Amino acid sequence: MARSASVFVCSSCAHQVAKWHGQCPQCEEWNTIVEERAPTRAAKQRPVSAGGASNRPVIMREIASDSTPRLATGIAELDRLLGGGIVPGSIVLLGGAPGIGKSTLITMALGLMASAGRSTLYVSGEESAAQIRLRAARLEAGATPGALDVPVLAETDLDVVLAVIESERPEICVVDSVQTLACADLSGAAGTVGQVREVAARLIEIAKRTDTAIMLVGHVTKEGSLAGPRVLEHLVDCVLQFDGERERTYRTLRAIKNRFGATNDVGVFEMRDGGLVEVLDASERFVSEATCAPGSVVLAAMEGSRPLLVEVQALVSPSEMVPPRRLSSGVDRNRLALVLAVLARHAGVSTGSADVFVNVVGGVRVDEPGADLAIALAVASAASGRSLTASGEKPLCAFGEIGLTGELRSVPHQLRREQEAKKFGLTKLVTPERAGSLREALKLDHCASESLSARNAA
């Protein structure tokens, strides 16, 4: 009887069993048994030639430097996030919610590279070749020349995809998506932990051997993280996260991991009829749309090495619900709860009987602590019903971290934030250097510190 080509391994303790179990017999963890490809006998009995040149360590100074130029995608924001372009032989993982524009972005990149004379390949396991052509025709009619010149392979069999990459040897290959490919040696369905791990491992092997840059498109979970095993993010060279709301036009592309460039950087795009358009100066767009109404504050945030001005809006409304609602879009909900608690304890702005809604305009997400002060000022302004600036003036700009004792703490790149604000005429700044505590910041802005309950009683 032929030996099975797969084994079942616990993802928690690496214990192997002959068949799938709901609970690991060794560590007793539930739902950790996944199917993986069994190593071949040749791999187990691989001879090691003592003294062979391939088995000797090499001093890094003696290694010849690779002068291969990077592959420019033709999209400036994407190239900047990648550190100047795609490195040949590297693996890039692009994740994002359904309908956010991942396929549009990669089709534009492949079309621009094809028009520049690069050899490309688009592997799709989700759409047929005819469906991909419809999108490419729309993009080529816009501002993406060469979109219809990209070779397309609609296939879900991993062995077929590897054979085509081996024969065609493209400079850049896109796999949309990695959860749709399946290895015939494993019995699990496509998208399972074992399948995704095996597919990624074999694609990485052929990428390093053929010097083909491969971009993997990945699904995300309902929490917004990349679906599949965590080891997938460790195996690839670069992880890009495509964020935004489908109802909004703005999209943000973040570099979460990059072995060949900077991380925690961001690129801003705008979705239009002809595809994605780069927003080279996003601060100008957001500042021009900012209002001086109560509950509006401009935040000077840092996205990697790039300052970004975004508008933070807050709405505080009396509520009959117990407990009242705390909803946020673009900021962490737990961070909002912390700011509300500090406002009530150290600044006298109570929102205990009111619904609080906070939104970062434009669908941008801000995760840094420097947004605390802008959130607090927006909530205090909305609670009092008073604007932070007079009519006709530029909006108020703020940034800073709030401590649990009500003090304001400095944040990195303060000078660059202030320069970005002054660049657009925002001279009214509230920073930790100008106010030592949250209560002082509220007085500095002429923002009422009366609680919502007191205002309602009056």
C-alpha 397/C-alpha 312 separation (Å) is 10
List all residues 6 or more positions away from 234 whose beta carbon is below 8 Å from its beta carbon: none
| pLDDT of 448 strictly over 70 | no
70-280 and 283-457 agree in CATH topology: no
Residue 48 is predicted with a pLDDT of 47
pLDDT of 210 reads 93
Residue 258 corresponds to which amino acid? N
Residue 312 has pLDDT above 50, yes or no: yes
Q: What is the pLDDT of residue 222?
A: 65
Across all residues in the chain, what is the average pLDDT?
85
DSSP 8-state symbol, 387: -
Position 372 pLDDT exceeds 50: yes
Q: Can you tell me the mean pLDDT for 411-437?
A: 91
Q: What pLDDT is attached to residue 42?
A: 44
Q: Which two tokens stand for residue 91?
A: 């693996």
Query: What confidence tier does 396 reach under pLDDT thresholds 50, 70, 90?
Result: very high
**CA geometry: angle at 451 spanning 450 and 454, to 5°?**
90
| Interval 170-212: pLDDT, tens | 999 999 989 899 988 877 778 877 788 889 999 999 999 999 9
Q: Can you give the residue ranges of every domain in the chain?
A: 6-41, 70-280, 283-457
Residues 217, 94 contacting (CB under 8 angstroms): yes
Which tokens is 82 given?
């990648």
**In the predicted structure, residue 45 carries a pLDDT above the cut 50:** no
Give the residue with greater pLDDT, 144 vs 170: 170
Q: Is 151 exposed, middle or buried (0-12, 13-18, 19+ CB in 10 A)?
A: middle
Backbone angles phi and psi of 218, in degrees to 5: -120, 150
Q: What is the pLDDT of residue 4?
A: 55
CATH 3.40.50.970 is the classification of domain 283-457 = no
DSSP codes of every residue in 182-202: B-TT--SPTTSHHHHHHHHHH
CA distance 231 to 91: 14
Q: Compute the distance between CA of residue 353 and CA of residue 332 in angstroms, rounded to an integer.
A: 21
Give residue 261's pLDDT: 82
Q: What CATH architecture applies to the domain 70-280?
A: 3-Layer(aba) Sandwich (3.40)
pLDDT value for 315: 96
Q: What is the torsional sign of CA 120, 124, 130, 136?
A: negative
pLDDT at 292: 85
What does the pLDDT look like over 246-265, one tens digit per residue?
667 788 888 889 998 877 67
Specify the pTM: 0.75
Q: Which of 43-52, 89-98, 133-142, 330-339 has the lowest mean pLDDT?
A: 43-52
Q: How far apart are CA 329 and CA 315, in angstroms?
A: 12
Greater confidence (230 vs 83) lies with 83
Q: In sequence order, which residues have a C-beta less than 8 Å from that of residue 242 and are 6 or more positions away?
A: 94, 95, 96, 97, 100, 101, 102, 105, 251, 252, 253
Report which of 222, 183, 349, 360 is spatially closest to residue 286, judged by C-alpha positions: 360
SS3 annotation, 9-46: EECCCCCEECCCCCECCCCCCECCEEEEECCCHHHHCC
Q: What is the mean pLDDT of residues 72-92?
A: 92
**pLDDT of amino acid 216:** 94
Q: What confidence category does residue 50 fall into, taking pLDDT thresholds of 50, 70 and 90? A: very low
pLDDT tens-digit series, residues 175-184: 998 989 998 8
> According to the model, what pLDDT value does residue 147 have?
93
